Structure 1
Amino acid sequence: MVAHDVRRVEPPLRLTRRGRAAVLVLLALMASLASAVLFTTASRADDQPAGALPTITVHEGDTLWDIAARVQPGRNGRDAVADLRRINHLTDSSLTPGQTLILPRT
């Protein structure tokens, strides 16, 4: 008598309607996560590098216009002064000797 090796063949995997819906939801979540990562990375590409911001100490007789002209020569003076005021949260143009101002990165 010869023994035969009988292998049982399993039917192919079949997904139910609920299983297919679960797979589609999982794929949609993965695509959303990938998009979020890509958009976050792209939006940070233009961020300034971390580290200490450049500063300047105000001397007797300095004005915002003088400082703006020194640190950003060739730039429109009004824009440079506006940047200095915005960055340093200044409500007016008065300065005090010894005051430290944060400078815009160039």
Structure 2
Amino acid sequence: MSTLSISPAFRPARRPTRVVELAETSARRSTVRLTHRGRVVFVLAFLAMAFVVMVGLGGWATASHDAGTPQPVRVVEVQEGDTLYGIAGRVARPGHVREMVHEIQQLNSLSSAGLQAGQKLAIPAS
């Protein structure tokens, strides 16, 4: 029987490294890695900066204090069987019924085209 013993002091020979090689490899391998807490801090800092910029520039987006010129309107009471398109068709120029429906919806803050009998609608007078 044969035995083989390896001494812990045995190390293979290494070639000597130059200082320049170490500097080059460390420069190539250096990448920025953020931890989870670092990412959270980075995102919160970005959101805080965005909030400060939006608040700072938000004053430019305000409406003026001057009132616009009121649009002349007439009030029409909805009868049984009337539709928004029918009412708009009576007052709109030919070919512009859709635009008139949209304008009536905006004037009266209507979310849909559904009407009820007895409802009063503001319609452009022009």
TM-score with structure 1 setting the length: 0.50
TM-score with structure 2 setting the length: 0.42
Structure with more relative contact order (C-alpha pairs < 8 Å, separation 6 or more): 1
